[in-house]
Structure 1
Amino acid sequence: MQADVDLWINFYNKERTHSGRYCYGKTPMQTWEEKQRIG
């Protein structure tokens, strides 16, 4: 079961694009990494 959760978390953060207002089609991880460089 943990392996399934790990796969889902990886997909959720690194593969799917986010539909949020300021994400501009990037994945959550891409958005977070860019914020770390800026901030």
Structure 2
Amino acid sequence: MRKGIFIPAVAVRVAVGTAVVAVAAMTAISAPGMVRYIKMKSM
């Protein structure tokens, strides 16, 4: 009974953690490009 609840909870936690890491990585990669774009626009 407990294992049936435990496994999905772990899967959800792993999925959320992966999503957070992916969003953070995308932000880190896109941030320099955005800054460069804004600087070029302002110039």
TM-score interval, smaller chain: 0.3 to 0.5
Q: Normalising by structure 2, what TM-score? A: 0.37
TM-score normalised by structure 1 residue count: 0.40
Query: Who wins on radius of gyration, i.e. which is larger?
Result: 2
- Tell which has more relative contact order, 1 or 2 (C-alpha 8 A, sep 6+): 1
Higher helix share: 2
